[in-house]
Amino acid sequence: MQTLKFKNKDEMPAFGLGTWKSEPGEVYNAVKVAIKEGYRHLDCAPLYGNEKEIGKALAESIAEGTVTRSEMWITSKLWNTYHYKSEVIPSLKQSLKDLQTDYLDLYLIHWPIALKKEVIFPQKADDMASLEDIPLSETWQAMEESVNRGLAKHLGVSNFGKKNINKLISTSSIKPEMNQVECHPYFQQEDLLNFCKSNDILFTAYAPLGSSDRPDIFKAKNEPSLLEEPVIVEIAKSQNATPAQILISWALHRGTSVIPKSVNPGRIVQNFQAQFINLSEHEMKRIAKLDRGYRYVTGQFWVFEGGPYKLEDVFA
Ligand code: A2P
């Protein structure tokens, strides 16, 4: 199994199970099937509303002897409502309780965006808090505290661009070791990937299959379908594989982690098998040409007239 190595030599399985949009009622079975199949990396977040079920499936898999905790890699994320320094550890502890574990392998700031207390998802400008009011550097100090207390082994960020990462690097004592962002052939993030590499920051690709199960309100009309992209379909046919497997394999060949979401047992198995596909240099070059700077997750939901965030700042 391909891994990404952290500075202290800890290894994270590059291939993991995404759980964004996995509904309670579906995710328990998905996690159990995945762990049985050999998945050793679960990507979670309290915002996904399903950590309790994931925790139940994880605890059962451990009790049944399918896996041990130390063989698993568990990532979770700090939601935007809890950027206040005093809220970080309590929020992390809630995730630990729900996931039925004593520690996270990796804890990420979910977005470089803050919300006012008790606002889980904003409806208006006044629901937002600015990064001047709650600087990322202060949130990060509490993230560091979670490592010092043994609650998390590694720290990172998600949806961060170069400017926000640079700010964190310059003020932190524990440097961010991971950036998890949207990444797929239509949005290859070459520049950000190179920036992360040169700063010893590992990279996880979310929405690798194009995340077509997002709620309609967050979708553009006529958005392009990665799974129907002719070049991907053609390579899939010649490899005797599916388009989803080619998309996953492409991410692994670029040296990134990748976390496709599925709650369907057949597709969970299919996605796992993508780790064993070999793409040629020629195939990688053909896929490299597909980049069109297309984001599925635009970040528009953080932008309100009169609010503290502009769209160009969100991923800055
Ligand atoms: P399902 O959960 O029913 O399998 P992303 O990881 O980019 O967010 O994409 C998740 C979407 O892709 C979900 O709708 C998921 O549906 C679907 N999906 C996952 N694996 C596959 C696959 N192998 N082939 C086709 N669609 C897939």
Lowest mean pLDDT of 29-33, 70-74, 216-220, 234-238, name the range.
216-220
| Catalytic sites, residue numbers | 48
- Tell me: the pLDDT tens digits for 98-140? 999 999 999 999 999 999 999 999 999 999 999 999 999 999 9
Q: What pLDDT is recorded for position 21? A: 96
User: Whose Cα sits closest to atom 8 in ligand 1?
Assistant: 211
**C-beta of 213 in contact with ligand 1 (< 6 A):** yes
The predicted-structure confidence for 38-92, as pLDDT tens digits, reads as follows: 999 999 999 999 999 999 999 999 999 999 999 999 999 999 999 999 999 999 9
Distances 80 to 152, 158, 196, 208 between C-alpha atoms, Å: 18, 11, 23, 23
Strand ranges (E), 44-120:
73-78, 104-109, 114-115
Question: If you search the block for the tokens 């950590």, which residue do you land on?
Answer: 51
Domain ranges of the chain: 3-220+256-267+292-314
- Measured in Å, residue 268 CA sits from the centre of ligand 1 at 9
Rounded Cα–Cα distance for residues 142 and 91 (Å): 11
CATH superfamily of this structure's domain 3-220+256-267+292-314 = NADP-dependent oxidoreductase domain (3.20.20.100)
Residue of 27, 209, 223, 272 to test ligand 1 pocket, by largest number of atoms within 8 Å of CB: 209
- pLDDT of residue 227 exceeding 90, the answer is yes
- CB of 226 sitting under 6 A from ligand 1: no
- Cβ distance 17 to 43 under 8 Å? yes
pTM: 0.98
Q: Do residues 100 and 149 touch, judged by C-beta distance below 8 A?
A: no
Packing angle, helices 162-171 and 136-148, rounded to 10: 60
What is the Å distance from ligand 1's center to 154 Cα? Answer: 28
Locate tokens 């780790």: which residue? 275
Q: Which atom of ligand 1 is nearest to the CA of 264?
A: 4
The token pair that represents 166 in the structure block: 């640079």
